[in-house]
Amino acid sequence: EDQVTQSPEALRLQEGESSSLNCSYTVSGLRGLFWYRQDPGKGPEFLFTLYSAGEEKEKERLKATLTKKESFLHITAPKPEDSATYLCAVLRTPGNTGKLIFGQGTTLQVKP
Amino acid sequence: DTEVTQTPKHLVMGMTNKKSLKCEQHMGHRAMYWYKQKAKKPPELMFVYSYEKLSINESVPSRFSPECPNSSLLNLHLHALQPEDSALYLCASSQSGQVEQYFGPGTRLTVT
């Protein structure tokens, strides 16, 4: 059965304390893996797409990496404004349906 | 520009009311989606439109009725809803069913 698992469920960091969020997946075939950021009461904001193992993407303090079984979202020197829920989702092959499989999310709190 | 707009932002309706949610995108995307999101849960797919045709209906009750008048617009018609239908309703769009989806800000629906 296709499954996406994110860990930890919640993460509290001090400002400047780097860490990583994990997204492990089991799908019959991976078409793409997506990271989103969601603030309370708002729609998810697209961050990254990863298509193949070994791929990396960066944006400001965030860096996403992908292996054959999992993806990491590395947060370097986080700031309070990075506090949000981070969602991971996968699209399996055949991947032309647009049907994303979401993880449960990791809620990040960064304290000043 | 990667903007998806949704109206209204908030909606309160009684169980006998009929209302509609609206979504619009001007990115030339050919796939559009409706999601339902409950508190502290990831988005749940409801409907997928591809090239203005309904391609996925995730066994959603008939009190939810989607409509895609043209390639830029997506509506969700609501009738005889139940209190458990209260949630954040998200619209998303993508270039195709194989790439990242861009979400709107959502409509917060409360059924009384």
**Using 50, 70 and 90 to split pLDDT, how confident is the model at B1?**
low
pLDDT of residue A67: 96
Residues contacting B88, CB < 8 A, separation 6+: A41, B36, B37, B38, B106, B107, B108, B109
Instruction: Taking residues B76-103, report their average pLDDT.
Output: 95
- B105 pLDDT higher than 80: yes
Instruction: Taking residues A63-77, report their average pLDDT.
Output: 97
From chain A, the residues in CB contact with B45 under 8 A are: 99-100
Residue B47: how many CB atoms within 10 A of its CB? 21
With contact defined as beta carbons under 8 Å apart, do B103 and A41 qualify? no
From chain B, the residues in CB contact with A103 under 8 A are: 42
Per-residue pLDDT tens over the stretch B32-57: 999 999 999 999 999 999 998 998 88
| Burial class of residue A19 (count of CB atoms within 10 Å of its CB; 0-12, 13-18, 19+) | middle
From chain B, the residues in CB contact with A95 under 8 A are: 97-98
3-state secondary structure of A82: helix
Largest pairwise CA distance in chain A: 44
A vs B: CB pairs below 8 A = 66
Cis omega (within 30 of 0) for bond into B105: no
Mutate to test the interface with A, among B1, B98, B109 (most CBs of A within 10 A): B98
- Minimal Cα distance from A34: which residue of B? B100
With contact defined as beta carbons under 8 Å apart, do A109 and A12 qualify? yes
Instruction: Taking residues A63-86, report their average pLDDT.
Output: 98
Mean pLDDT of chain B: 94
